[in-house]
């Protein structure tokens, strides 16, 4: 519920007309969302089919397999609980390019922000200090969140805003 409350408040306060999410999963989080228009993408065809069935009566929502992504963009791009499941570096790089490339104004990431591993981390978990990647992107700046969260294991929200074009 706290994720939905944060995101719904952000969308309302910033007058966000459209949202694209990379990693929509089973749609549980979306069932709590209040987004004017939404595109959800996932690597799992089964997850996409489940979402299409679950939200079949809502014409403001669309779902696709990431492999069928065709350059769609939205005011806000979301990544919730995905980054620490991207264990291979090339997969992480491509995901980050897609995520930030799909955003017109904002990107919100909910993730850990640390390179530390613990004995309980499984083969499908790799925590990353992803803000090192975002810091190299001249066109984006961190508005909320801090790389100091990297010392924690807990995931946090990180809000990025597209930097104004310099004249």
Residue pointed to by tokens 């350059």: 71
Is pLDDT above 90 for 135?
Answer: no
Q: How far apart are CA 99 and CA 40, in angstroms?
A: 12
What is the reported pTM?
0.88
Q: 108 has which bridge partners?
A: 78, 159
Question: Mean of the pLDDT values across residues 34-38?
Answer: 96
pLDDT tens digits along 51-103 = 999 999 999 999 999 999 999 999 999 999 888 877 788 988 999 999 999 99
For residue 35, which of 52, 66, 10 has the smallest C-alpha distance?
10
Tell me, which fold does domain 17-162 have in CATH? Answer: Rossmann fold (3.40.50)
Model confidence at 154, pLDDT cuts 50, 70, 90, reads: confident
Question: Mean of the pLDDT values across residues 39-55?
Answer: 96
């Amino acid at each position: 519920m706290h994720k939905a409350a944060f995101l719904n408040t952000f969308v309302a306060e910033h007058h966000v007309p459209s949202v694209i999410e990379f990693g929509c999963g089973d749609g549980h989080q979306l069932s709590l969302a209040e987004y004017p228009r939404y595109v959800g993408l996932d690597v799992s065809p089964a997850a996409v089919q489940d979402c299409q069935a679950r939200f079949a009566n809502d014409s403001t929502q669309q779902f696709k397999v990431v492999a069928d992504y065709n350059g769609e963009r939205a005011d806000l791009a979301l990544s919730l609980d995905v980054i620490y499941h991207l264990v291979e570096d090339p997969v992480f790089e491509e995901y980050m390019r897609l995520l930030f490339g799909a955003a017109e104004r904002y990107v919100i990431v909910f993730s850990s922000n640390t390179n530390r591993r613990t004995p309980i981390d499984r083969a499908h978990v790799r925590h990353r200090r992803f803000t090192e990647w975002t810091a190299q992107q001249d066109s984006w700046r961190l508005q909320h969140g801090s790389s100091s969260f990297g010392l924690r294991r807990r995931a946090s929200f990180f809000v990025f805003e597209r930097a104004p074009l310099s004249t």
